[in-house]
Amino acid sequence: MSAPLPPVRRVPAEEVARALEGAPRVVFLDDDPTGTQTIRDLPVLTRWTVDDVRWALGRPGAGFFVLTNTRSLAPDRAAARDREVVRACLAASAAEGVPLVFASRGDSTLRGHFPLETDVVGEVLAEHGGAVDAVLLAPAFTDAGRLTVRGVHHVRTPEGLVPVADSEFARDATFGYRSSRLADWVEEKSGGRIPAGAVLELTVDAIRPGTTGELAAVLTGVRDGGVVAVDAAVDDDLRAVALAVLAAERAGARLVYRIGPSFVRARTGQDAHPPVDDAALVGLVGSDAHGLVVVGSHVALTSTQLARLAERRRFTAVELDVPTLLDDARGGRHVDDAVAAATAALAAGPVVLSTSRRLVTGADEATSLDIARRVSAALTRTVGRVVAERRPGYVVAKGGITSSDVATDALGIGRAVVRGSMLEGIVSLWEPVSGPAEGLPYVVFAGNVGDADSLADVVDRLERAVAARRS
């Protein structure tokens, strides 16, 4: 039997907030939009011109998001995009005189381009005279039950916590893996370039009894881009590490973070906060039509949530059949029909626009990713046309890549502000502040979070707000 965990060391968010005085601003390079669901009142960019970044730097807060959507891209394109974003941010940093650190925000179930993305950030920083000392790996998402304990990453399921490699996420067609221990996962995903034995495990056994100075000394002792895998069973663990990170950076250490959503909250000095209240929702939603729910995620939980939504509420279902979309001769007409059906139905009630639930994959990783991109492009074209013809009261996007493509391609959101969450610690609400969707409430809902009722709960809240706005 393993030894009991040390008692939690309470670290208030206010303590981190005080330590942020004079600290570099964090650029969260978000590989899909779901990294925003744990925070509030931070800016989000889906474009990365120097002017856009300077706008974000001019707003209050400890950091900002740049939506790169790299999880949907092939490795070479993901690397090129990261380079472009980091260079633009460094140019804006120099123009504004605001120092930056970079975080690659990845999936809490370990899907995505790692170590590619942190490698690229390190290469660009080295071009500008700053070699990376350490890469902090902290994928935990405590609100959703994604926890790391003694080096092993777990996910909460209806049956309880299970090692992440035993979950459906490890069988992802593009980003699958075999290892639950983060050190072994690093070796696996790096193709052996970073051996498991070279990964430093910062476990709760060191985090909880350790002082900020002791933990900072551990971090400052890492060199040459070494990986530090961080435990987190509760947010206090991450806040303790955030204090150590800030101290190490003040001492001159240059860190890059590969993180899940919870470290975003810890590093920005924010605490868990209640969802956006009903009065605020009423002030944000539109009154001319009901809402549009866009579903691209294929994980089992999303399908369960759709089924529960159908049990609890009447809505019009408009389905894009994936094999038909992939048929060049029939795909265009199929989209036309879906646009007409969805536009007509928004006057009467909410519309759920989804792709067919049977997942279509290719023979290999690259082919699967190409199919996913083509389907997502068709879905976003449909959304863009629907919104242009009949502006809904709100838009909910279900699925990480879907959320990114809808925000950028369908709604043309260039700049937004995260107003908070729709549920406790999950599902973020954006207010676009530029583009054709300015002022249209946009809800980013990851495919793999919540319980069976979560989607229905969100739609119920939004529809009540629409009804209140109309009355």
Residue-range domain boundaries for the chain: 13-267, 278-470
CATH architecture of the domain with residue range 278-470: 3-Layer(aba) Sandwich (3.40)
User: What pLDDT, on a 0 to 100 scale, did the predictor assign at position 72?
Assistant: 84
Say how far apart CA 308 and CA 355 lie, in whole Å.
17
Say how far apart CA 268 and CA 63 lie, in whole Å.
7
CB 450 within 8 A of CB 403: no
231 closest CA partner among 223, 243, 222, 239: 239
342 closest CA partner among 306, 309, 386, 378: 386
User: What pLDDT, on a 0 to 100 scale, did the predictor assign at position 361?
Assistant: 64
Answer whether 13-267 and 278-470 agree in fold: no
117 closest CA partner among 102, 134, 107, 104: 104
Reduced to 3 states (helix: H, G, I; strand: E, B; else coil), residue 66 is strand
| Exposed/middle/buried for residue 178 (C-beta within 10 Å: 0-12, 13-18, 19+) | exposed
Residues of the chain where predicted confidence (pLDDT) is lower than 70: 1, 357-363
> From the CB of residue 422, how many other CB atoms can be counted at a distance below 10 Å?
25
pTM: 0.89
User: What pLDDT, on a 0 to 100 scale, did the predictor assign at position 338?
Assistant: 96
pLDDT tens-place string over residues 213-254: 999 999 999 999 999 999 999 999 999 999 999 999 999 999
Say how far apart CA 91 and CA 160 lie, in whole Å.
47
Q: What are phi and psi of 12, to 5 degrees?
A: -65, 145
Superfamily for domain range 13-267: Putative sugar-binding, N-terminal domain (3.40.50.10840)
pLDDT tens-place string over residues 290-339: 999 999 877 788 989 999 999 999 999 999 998 898 888 898 999 999 99
Q: How far is CA 345 from CA 289, 384, 390, 464, in A?
A: 9, 16, 10, 18
